[in-house]
Structure 1
Amino acid sequence: MVIKRRALLGGLAGAPALGLNQASAQPAASDSAGRFPDRPVRFVVAYAAGGAADNQNRLAAQKLTEIWGKQVIVENKPGGNTLIATETVMRAPADGHTLLSVSLPFALNPLMFDRLPYDPFHDFMPVGLISTIPNILVVHPSFPARNVAEFVAYAKANPQKIAVAHTGIGSVTHLSGELLYDIAGIEVTTVAYTGSAPAHIDVLSGRVQAMFDSSMLPHIAAGRVRALGVTSKQRVALLPDVPTIAEQGFPDYDAVAFYGLVAPRGTPPEIVEKISADLRTAVQQPETQERMKTLTFLPGNTTPAQFDQFIRNEVSLWGDLVKRRKIQPGS
């Protein structure tokens, strides 16, 4: 399968919302937005503290705290393929004070679970994209491969002998690997964790040989892991000597993570619009962009309607792979 990476962020201006409650695309009209927020705001994150999802949410939360003058609290609720966090926010009051940080599993879970307690396109309203981010395939220094071709060759000679960590079925850390295995025709053993931080412990110790992840830069610099390839079409500025996977014999390979915010259905549209506008202000500030650069994040800049379309395009990009690889909870 060939998955063509999006050219969405520049081309979404004016794109209509296709779901996730179209009311969120309507102009602000009431005084409720002017009073928002009137107490602390929660970002509920479906992953453990310390990983990429947690880092970018804390950065956005810090900037919105400065803008609003009210504390934005990041609350980590890992587990259940993101279902624990998702249900928490779905049942929260629809007033904008409890928001869900979403990534790919939010949209792909319906393709993997026979029954879900939520519908991503009806139970939530899109707010905006915080960031996109490439992952990096890293291995423990004891692993013999020094590039992606050698990684693939080792996997072919040793089927299912490579253990690869990821942050949950359907996460981009998981699907980045599945895409490579699919294109290269290899099989490995995957090991699920509740977030990047606990996975790092096992990768750094050598209990698990490899991982696709975005928050290993300090460990790469220190030589505690070896970077084999970047999952995006472009190299990472902070790792200019690490080629992309596409450059290493797999030209159709392209996998980028995203993080954004959604609100419970029924949240007043004017509040959704205010949060979205303030989020765009927060992530476009020069100091925010500089910090994101050090973490290899690319700042988002979407309206609720554009973020809706972005999520739908992600489902289209990854859905076929999920079906063909028969990816399900526990797979």
Structure 2
Amino acid sequence: MFKWTAAAIGVLGAWAAQAQPPGQDWPNRTIRVISPYAPGGAADATARLAGQELQRILGQTVVVENRSGASGTIGGEVVRQAAPDGYTLLASPSSHILARHVLRAAPYDPQADFTPVARFAEGPMLVLVNPAMPAGTIAEALPLVRANPSRFTFGLGGLGAASHLAVLQFLRQAGVDLAMVAYRGSAPALTDLVSGNIQLMIDPGGFPLVQDGRLKALAITGSRRHPLLPGVPTAAESGMPGLEMVGWYGLWGPKDLPAPIVTRLNAAMAQAVQQPAVVQRLYALGLVPASSTPAALVQYIQEDLARSATLLQEAHYQPE
């Protein structure tokens, strides 16, 4: 009789576990956050900040892994192939949503194959040059670039990033065609800019390098000057009024991530970006907190994707 009762209890327990809503006991083990770019840049810094805060708020270990390459799609593919259980997440710049627009052979559809979870940071970018360039504004740099376009190369932290779109807008307004080199993240590109291997960048991650004099900022792509660099003019003040653009950073899960997990992750990130220490860290990166509900994020992505696709089309950009 006892054996039958124990077996019955086991069956009932298994049934009860299966009857629980998806994600009811989540998280109960280590969570992986994939950073799809190289260590050291703004993309990696924000991914690590997100991982740190998720660990603090959720009470589970969070490990951040760098899987860089192919303009972020190597890391994205890791998440796409993962089980939709909330234990593998992607922390990426907005470049993630443009994979099929900038790559000929993107391994996935960013809209169909992922679940948007949260948008947690945004900010303007800096138009950066090596300090050796004898120009202090865009207006002063353009004659030099137009006179010798073959001597100037734009570095890109990744194809499809907001910085890439800003470069296309810069070139379109300037009326020049410069070579562009895509890196595995902004950190190695910034290193090459400091050493003079490339001559120009537009990137959100150059604030510390400008502050310590290793790079020079010709402009900022926001609508107003940044308090961290009050001496750097806006693009409009610097001679290119149409160059106003911000980048943003978000969290994604695999397709079909259960709604309870999405809701809890979104709430955790919304809570995180209200913490003074997090705000201060983002501020030091030249960023500000951002947040939205999952439904609002889907709408935001659709609108941002439409704007970006139009810019790529107007720039006659050909996927690489």
Do the aligned partners of 2:139 and 2:240 also contact (CA within 8 Å) in 1? no
The Cα offsets for residues 32-62 of structure 1, whole Å up to 9 and x where unpaired, read as 5452211111111110011001111111211
CA distance in 2, matches of 1:114, 1:79: 15
State the match for 2:184 in structure 1: 194
Q: Is the 8 A contact 1:46 1:77 kept in 2?
A: yes
Work out whether 1:41 is the aligned partner of 2:39.
Answer: no
Question: Which letter maps to 2:195?
Answer: S
What is residue 5 of structure 1 aligned with on the other side? none
Separation of aligned partners in 2, 1:249 and 1:210: 16
Preserved CA contact (<8 Å) 2:94 2:250: no
CA–CA distance in structure 2, aligned partners of residues 256 and 243 of structure 1? 15
CA contact (8 A) 2:118 2:266 kept: yes
Please name the residue that 1:132 is paired with.
122
Aligned mates of 2:104, 2:52 — CA distance in 1: 38
User: Is residue 130 of structure 2 the alignment partner of residue 175 of structure 1?
Assistant: no
SS at match of 2:28: coil
Counterpart code for 1:49: P
Match of 1:119 in 2: 109
Report SS of the residue matched to 2:127.
Answer: strand
C-alpha distance after superposition, 1:141-190 (max 9, x if no partner): 11122111012221111223211211122222222111111112122221
Report whether the alignment pairs 1:94 with 2:84.
yes
TM-score (norm. length: structure 2): 0.89
Unaligned residue ranges in structure 2 (runs of 5+):
1-18
Question: Which of the two has higher C-alpha Rg?
Answer: 2
Alpha-carbon distance in 2 for matches of 1:190, 1:116: 19
Aligned position for 1:286: 276
Q: Quick one: higher RCO (CA 8 Å, sep 6+), 1 or 2?
A: 1
Kindly provide the CA deviation profile for residues 264-286 of structure 1, in whole angstroms up to 9, marking residues without a partner as x: 11211111111111111011212
In structure 2, what is the equivalent of residue 268 of structure 1? 258
Q: Residue 325 and residue 160 in structure 1: after superposition, are their counterparts in 2 closer, same or farther (change >3 A)?
A: farther
Deviations 1:61-100 (A, max 9, x none): 1111111111111111111122211111011010011111
Taking the TM superposition and a 5 Å limit, the aligned residue runs for 1:228-247 are 228-247=218-237
Spell out, residue by residue over 1:95-134, the C-alpha distance to the aligned partner (whole angstroms, 9 max, x if none): 0111112323322222234453322222111101021121
Partner of 1:322: 312
Amino acid of the residue matched to residue 172 of structure 1? Answer: A
SS at match of 1:35: coil
Separation in structure 2 between the aligned mates of residue 194 and residue 92 of structure 1, nearest angstrom: 22
Name the amino acid aligned to 1:133: G
After superposition, residues 135-146 of structure 1 pair within 5 angstroms as 135-146=125-136
Corresponding residue of 1:80: 70
Residue in 1 that maps onto 2:5: none
Contact (CA 8 Å) 2:40, 2:187: kept in 1 or not?
yes
CA contact (8 A) 1:52 1:196 kept: yes
| In structure 2, distance between residues paired with 1:187 and 1:246 | 21
Q: Distance in 1 between matches of 2:56 and 2:80?
A: 26
Say if 1:30 and 1:270, in contact at 8 Å, map to a contact too.
no
User: Which residue of structure 1 lines up, in the alignment, with residue 243 of structure 2?
Assistant: 253
Equivalent pair of 1:284/1:301 in contact (CA under 8 Å): no
**Is the contact made by 2:158 and 2:183 (CA closer than 8 Å) also made in structure 1?**
yes
Q: Which moves more between the two structures, 244-253 or 180-189?
A: 244-253
Contact 1:134/1:296, CA 8 A, preserved across alignment:
yes
Question: Residue type matched to 2:144 in 1?
Answer: Y
How far apart in 1 are the matches of 2:236 and 2:224?
Answer: 9
Mapped pair 1:297 → 2:283: no
Aligned residues: 302
CA RMSD of aligned residues (A): 1.7
Listed one character per residue, the Cα deviations across residues 251-300 of structure 1 (whole Å, up to 9, x for unaligned) are 22212111101111121111111111111101121221122111111111
> Higher mean Cα deviation, 95-104 or 126-135?
95-104
Shift of 1:322: 1.0
Query: What is the SS of the residue equivalent to 1:131?
Result: strand
C-alpha distance in 1 between matches for 2:243 and 2:208: 25
